[in-house]
Structure 1
């Protein structure tokens, strides 16, 4: 699932299949280099990019390659496939709940810091496999063997649950409604455009809007999975991974991977615990280490010893990490110092750096321009591919048949369809066995939409009119189809782009006198939840298709996981919000950068550009066009050249928050490169487990750290780094006290 920036962007890169970059509420998924599949995500804005396909028999995500035989399903032919109620077992749901809390903490921490969220799907599959293996070994029940279908249910449930921690907008549109973010924005901070986060209304809002997307595309599941044979690269890679775990030799490999992941997690956890002792005040600790010098530190170039981002750098393709670093160098190394010299000319020299009418305005809106340029280009590209593929399929087959993008290279009249392979026949048999009735899907969508239309404006957002919500639900199925179809072709999810379009469209519709800023943010949330959930469900159905998991068990586990996420996500956010001071401000450890970006998008949609500093709009136009030009160059260049073209979405992230995390991610990329150079096979096999462990361990530490803060337990030591001149002053001052 997921996505690049806090908006998970789940990229386009040469080579293998599925890697991910998430940002803001997108996920930029990139293909791993040299044909090796390494799913990873850098959250950017919710746009997911990735490789063009994960062919049958390809290596599974994270380097655990499935042994290629003539038929994967023949290996499992002797194993009975349990009926769908026995796939959704109580132990699977308990395991899913535990992992949902763990991964929600990880995603929330990332959403509130940089918005870069690596793909945790494989980690969910790995840990789900390990925990259920331990469970079944401790509680032996010969009547309930641990199957790949049950493993798939856990992975689906966990991903749908922690997905709410991202699509719920806690680091973007939802938190952007708060007074904390509004006070940093340009204007429109009146009471009608502000809504403070509260646990009750956040849970209620998510329950009202998060389930509709599950029903939107259910009637088209057979068309998209079997008839169109859409690839869904991430779903395919995850299925290969699970199949590999449950083959006789695959289980041994899985054990070694999981053991490596646990060791890495423990080391990361205790490293975070060790660092905590030195963070007794602002600017203290290893996280403020000026490794590149104090001058570079002032421009946010430093290594902060974050295992989370080192792990993310090992997961994300090298192109992503280099792009993020280039974006940091271009902005904080060149552009911002040059603009700073224009103080008093382009903007009032007395304005603080945090003012949107000064330096902060350039940082925020140029980043928005790059994100919008890249997102709109990707949106147009996927839409054109979708239309072209449907047109080609209709003309060649005159019915729902194989798409030319999936390897049908015939010209002219359609060739006779080859007989289905044993795998295809067996998978189709089980996929069509447990039907989800169409009336249930349509009725579910209508009923939940009707309740939402009535309840959201009345109980949660009085600024919204009922017809605003109704308009979203009328548009959503078509947009959900486009998003799910595009994800199936390219692994790109453009949920955040659809959300941004809703911000501008509905914000302008409501207008300034009628709280257009809040209306835009609220409709953005409704649209993003529907479009994202629908695409994620279709991708999970692809995973279930390849592991013989019943569509009903996939649907039920998605529903249960979404329900878990609607409670766990807001609760975890509330823990961070209450435990850590200043969440959402740039001085906090959790600045939530995309919350301010989303709010300013809504302000632009209502008010225009009148408050921007001089030449800011000109620079925004330049970078908007530049992002499109770079994307076009990447698409048109030969594959060998395209992999060296940077990704605009990845470059945009450090424009606002600084390049410090880019140093960590680049180090992760260097570690992986060196490891592959020394022992490529071992790196391919263990790198994803090590990276996942670094991320998980640091994420787990966030929970006790938050509890310590809630109970007012403070670290005992402050470790700061001073220049020699400042240190002399401190020494002299201390001497006067003695």
Structure 2
């Protein structure tokens, strides 16, 4: 979802400030650039650990509730700026002189934070790793489903999860190092997320304190409001189904179909960051599924599926929810996969034909600022042998180590994965540079289906999900590194400092993410389809593996025909979006966004639409202020309630329950 969740704010910042912030300021900065090892500071590492750990907890909560996590790059850069500038001002007031806070240090912290929380997002804690546990096995049908045997269960544990992440994530840092100059300088790929973050950082360090003070105040106000609100709500949630989170905003009948505003400021803030079309797609998916389809299918109980089977069974209503969601995800993913692969091949072919790699994108090579950025980027090069030796060494360690964690994933499966991973990582990074769509999750599904079919019914499910994590992690980490290299290129930050920052953040993420996962896993009922922490992607990924092992025999009656229809719908919507006039295409929903409420309901879509409504009204009333303040206010809302989840988890572990249950009953 991250690829579709780019905010309009970022795009507007790029359009307005790209020229200003990349012009004369770099002329002065480049004259006083510090060596790369001075760009990584102790205070920067400490700030990275604090912000990265915070974002990991927030991302984990989002992963385990709805599975939708917005792109937090801008929030990371903003929080880094707030934290370090506040710290330096505090030191100056007590008479201690500290080193100036540069945009290179800001970039280093942002890179480290993004690398850290990306492990929580893409590490599989809410999808393929969680899908291995017993609860998801039982929800997927247990022994009644061929291939879903008890041997295909692996319960979560901090030890093996941490080891697996270190094995599959670090190798992604070395995949594309030899190609960084080609992707960033020769091909002039834009990497819109990386560019937007760079423009924001350049703006922080060039416009003075006035804007920064306003953003800091906005962040603090929204942060405190969100934290206090989360604390206040906790008192009314003594039992399941209690509290403001179950407030029947539109009446009890709508509440039964999951249509209510649950007062989650986290998702209001997320909706403020996400684009309008993402939020509207979520609402459309909720109305279509829980408003129309599921009530109709529920009335066919006894005809389409046995009346005696509970709705949570994969042979009952839940089967339609899961597999139609999968059809939407696969249709949208396949279309975008083919589209971006086609764009990549055509673009690369055109470059080879032109024999001029430096002519891409119509960029003026005489521009002094561009030449200076290129010079800084090339000056402190990373030797080719570092990438080659790092990749081969870590690949050998993984080939030996991963089968010990997952005996079903044989060493030759891992070897084949590492042979094909570099070419897939290049295609993904190139496509992301052109379109800002990171397709690592689709490459992961390719690995999942391939290994599932190869492994067989007895051992295929666990092997397939582990292979999915292997492919996805390598490709995702390498793509994020290229995106951060783009940010570093535009902020005159050394590539060596960027690589080391990414390595620090990746190591931190591999440690913090399993810990934050177990904080929630031990304190809450993770994976309960009727609870707050539904973790919808866990059952989706397990059923993807089951389909890969046994085919479509796991589907309930008439579900296959509905899946065909929604698969075609996903492709059709994308075709209309790409080939119709802009005024029509911009209103086409995003099938991947639609798929999530098909499985878990519409309450969070309403929260996010409230966020998008706030941004829409704000942009109409005061567009300049909205452009400046939306990222700060949204980040505060997300972080405030996210921080409250830490003490809430600790209270849950200590068996300290809220004193009141607020519940709504018919009159």
TM-score bucket (shorter structure):
over 0.9
Aligned to 1:333, which of 283, 291, 295?
291
8 Å contact from structure 1 (residues 347, 614) kept in 2 = yes
Determine the C-alpha separation between the residues in 2 that align with 1:419 and 1:468.
45
8 Å contact from structure 1 (residues 10, 30) kept in 2 = no
8 Å contact from structure 1 (residues 108, 572) kept in 2 = yes
Aligned to 2:392, which of 446, 454, 467?
446
Deviations 1:616-673 (A, max 9, x none): 0000000001100000100111222211111111111100011110111111111111
Q: Which runs of 5+ in 2 are unaligned?
A: none
8 Å contact from structure 1 (residues 503, 523) kept in 2 = yes
Aligned residue for 1:243? 202
Deviations 1:600-625 (A, max 9, x none): 00000001111311110000000001
- Deviating more after overlay: 681-690 vs 84-93: 681-690
Deviations 1:63-105 (A, max 9, x none): xxx8568534235355x11111111111111110011110001
Aligned to 1:145, which of 79, 94, 100?
100
Aligned to 1:10, which of 3, 6, 28?
3
Aligned residue for 1:736? none
8 Å contact from structure 2 (residues 132, 153) kept in 1 = yes
Aligned residue for 1:477? 422
Deviation at 1:132, TM superposition (A): 1.1
8 Å contact from structure 2 (residues 168, 470) kept in 1 = yes
Determine the C-alpha separation between the residues in 1 that align with 2:23 and 2:663.
61
Determine the C-alpha separation between the residues in 1 that align with 2:309 and 2:17.
55
* 2:357 equivalent to 1:390: no
5 Å-filtered alignment, 1:89-488, equals: 89-139=41-91, 144-186=99-141, 187=145, 188-247=147-206, 249-396=207-354, 398-403=355-360, 406-407=361-362, 418-458=364-404, 460-488=405-433
Deviations 1:239-279 (A, max 9, x none): 011111111x2443122212211110110000000000000
Deviations 1:421-455 (A, max 9, x none): 12111111110111111011100000001000001
TM-score (norm 1): 0.87
Deviations 1:574-625 (A, max 9, x none): 1111111x21111332111101100000000001111311110000000001
Determine the C-alpha separation between the residues in 2 that align with 1:204 and 1:122.
30
Determine the C-alpha separation between the residues in 1 that align with 2:490 and 2:624.
26
TM-score (norm 2): 0.97
Aligned to 2:463, which of 497, 519, 523?
519
Aligned residue for 1:627? 570
Partner of 1:696: helix, strand, or coil? Answer: helix
Determine the C-alpha separation between the residues in 2 that align with 1:714 and 1:256.
38
8 Å contact from structure 2 (residues 236, 661) kept in 1 = yes
CA RMSD of aligned residues (A): 1.6
Aligned to 2:478, which of 530, 534, 545?
534
Deviations 1:343-369 (A, max 9, x none): 111110111110110100100000000
Determine the C-alpha separation between the residues in 2 that align with 1:127 and 1:464.
40
Q: How many residues were matched structurally?
A: 660
Aligned residue for 1:569? 513
Q: Which runs of 5+ in 1 are unaligned?
A: 12-19, 21-28, 38-53, 61-65, 409-417, 725-738
Determine the C-alpha separation between the residues in 2 that align with 1:508 and 1:238.
41
From the superposition, tell whether residues 128 and 71 of structure 1 become closer, same or farther in structure 2 (CA, over 3 Å). Answer: same
Structure with greater helix share of residues:
2
8 Å contact from structure 2 (residues 22, 369) kept in 1 = no
8 Å contact from structure 2 (residues 236, 659) kept in 1 = yes
Determine the C-alpha separation between the residues in 2 that align with 1:147 and 1:68.
14
Deviation at 1:419, TM superposition (A): 4.2
Deviation at 1:498, TM superposition (A): 0.5
Runs of 4+ in 1 over 4 A off after TM superposition: 30-33, 66-70, 140-143
Deviation at 1:315, TM superposition (A): 1.2
From the superposition, tell whether residues 463 and 708 of structure 1 become closer, same or farther in structure 2 (CA, over 3 Å). Answer: same
Deviations 1:277-312 (A, max 9, x none): 000011100000011111111111111000011111
Determine the C-alpha separation between the residues in 2 that align with 1:377 and 1:30.
23
Determine the C-alpha separation between the residues in 1 that align with 2:7 and 2:420.
29
* 2:12 equivalent to 1:36: yes
Aligned residue for 1:735? none
Determine the C-alpha separation between the residues in 1 that align with 2:638 and 2:98.
36
